[in-house]
Amino acid sequence: MDIRPIHTEADYKATLKEISALMESDPDLGTPEGDRLDILATLVQAYEAKHMTITAPDPVEAIKFRMDQSGLSVKDLEPIIGKSNRVYEILNRKRPLTLAMIRRLHKSLGIPADVLIAETTAD
C-alpha cells in the first residue's frame, strides 16, 4: 500500500491531491482504495492538528463577525452593550468589554465566552 507519514508541506499537498483523486472515484468502504482514502485522511488530520493550529479570534473581531453574519447593526447591540456611543467605543477598541457585557454577548449572540474574555488586539 506504500503509505508514508506526512513530514513536509510538499508531502501534505501531494497527499491532498491523492485524496482528491480518490474521492472523485468514490471508492467503497473496505476496498483497497477506500482503505487508502481512510488512512490518508487520517494522516492529513494528524498533520493539520500538529502544524495548522487555529487561534481564537480577537473579541472585537468576533463581535463584528457575528454582526455581519446575523445582519446586526449598532442599534441591535444597544440592549446588550449599552447606548450607541458605548457600542462604538467597544467596536473601536476605545473601551474594554465588562463582565456583564461578556455575559450578555455570550447569551444573546452565542459568542463563546472564552473568545470574549481574551485580550483585545490593537488595530
- CA dist., res. 15 & res. 120, Å (int): 37
Contact 18, 44 (CB under 8 A): no
Dump pLDDT digits (tens) for 70-97.
999 999 999 999 999 999 999 999 999 9
pLDDT tops 90 at residue 57: no
pLDDT band at 2 (very low <50, low <70, confident <90, very high): confident
Phi, psi of 31 (to 5 degrees): -85, 160
Coil, helix or strand at residue 99 = helix
pLDDT band at 45 (very low <50, low <70, confident <90, very high): very high
- CA dist., res. 115 & res. 58, Å (int): 7
